[in-house]
Structure 1
Amino acid sequence: MERKVYVIHENQEWTKPLFDALNELNVPYEDWFLHEGTIDLTKEPPEGIFYNRMSASSHTRNHRFSPEYTASVLSWLESHGRVVLNNSRALQLEISKVAQYTSLQSFGIPVPKTIAAIGKEQILEAASSFSGPFITKHNRAGKGLGVRKFHSLQSLKEYVESDEFEPSIDGITLVQQYIEAPKPYIMRCEFINGSFFYAVRVDTSQGFELCPADACQIGDSYCPTTKNPKPKFEIIQNYENPYLKQYESFLRANNIHFAGIECIEDQNGNIYTYDVNTNTNYNPEAEAKAGLFGMRAIAKELQTYLTQLESK
Structure 2
Amino acid sequence: MSKIYVIHENDDWTSHLTSWLEELELPYELWHLDEGTIDLNSKPPEGIFYNRISASSHTRDHRFAPEFTEAVLAWLERHNRVVVNGSRALRLEVSKVNQYMALNSEGILTPKTVSAVGRKHILKAAEQLNESSFITKHNRAGKGQGVQLFHSLKALEEYVKGESYEEPVDGITLIQQYIQAPEPYIVRHEFIGGRFVYAVKVDTSEGFELCPADACTIDDSYCPTDKPEMAKGAKFQILDGYYNPLIKKYEKFLKENGIQVAGIEAIQDKEGNLYTYDVNTNTNYNSDAERLAGVYGMKELALYLNQELEKQAAVR
TM over 0.5: yes
* Structure 1 position 230 matched with structure 2 position 233: yes
1:36, distance to aligned residue in structure 2 (A): 1.3
The residue aligned with 1:294 is 297
Matched ranges for 1:195-274 at <5 A: 195-213=195-213, 214=216, 230-274=233-277
Partner of 1:166: 166
TM-score normalised by length of structure 2:
0.93
- Give the TM-score normalised by the residue count of structure 1: 0.95
Q: What code does the residue aligned with 2:111 have? A: P
Per-residue CA deviations over 1:135-189 (Å, capped at 9, x if unaligned) read 0000001000000000000110011001111011000000000000000100000
1:1-312 equivalence runs, <5 A: 2-129=1-128, 130-213=130-213, 214=216, 230-312=233-315
Mapped to 1, the partners of 2:208 and 2:279 lie a distance apart of 16
Q: Name the aligned partner's letter for residue 197 of structure 1.
A: V
**Alignment RMSD (CA, Å):** 1.1
**Which one-letter code corresponds to 1:281 in the other structure?**
N
- Which deviates the most, 139-148 or 35-44? 35-44
- Kept in 2, the 8 Å contact 1:51–1:86? The answer is yes
**What stretches of structure 1 of length at least 5 have no aligned partner?**
219-228
Residue matched to 1:226: none
- Distance in structure 2 (CA, Å) of the matches to 1:288 and 1:163: 43
Q: Contact 2:147–2:208 at 8 Å: present in 1 too?
A: no
CA distance in 1, matches of 2:277, 2:87: 21
Cα contact 1:138–1:174 (8 A) shared by 2:
yes
Q: CA deviation at 1:217?
A: 5.7
CA distance in 1, matches of 2:157, 2:243: 40
Q: How many residues align?
A: 301
Question: C-alpha distance in 2, partners of 1:120/1:266?
Answer: 30
Q: Is the 8 A contact 1:144 1:217 kept in 2?
A: no
Residue 224 of structure 1 is matched in structure 2 by none
Q: CA deviation at 1:208?
A: 2.6
SS at 1:71 equivalent: helix
SS of 2:14's equivalent in the other structure is helix
- 1:143 touches 1:217 (CA, 8 Å); kept in 2? no
State the secondary structure of the residue aligned to 1:128. Answer: helix
Q: Greater CA deviation, 291-300 or 199-208?
A: 199-208
SS of equivalent to 2:170: coil
Distance 1:293 1:108, change over 3 A: same
- Alpha-carbon distance between aligned partners in 1 of 2:62 and 2:207, rounded to the nearest angstrom: 26
Inter-CA distance 245–217: structure 2 relative to 1 (3 Å threshold): farther
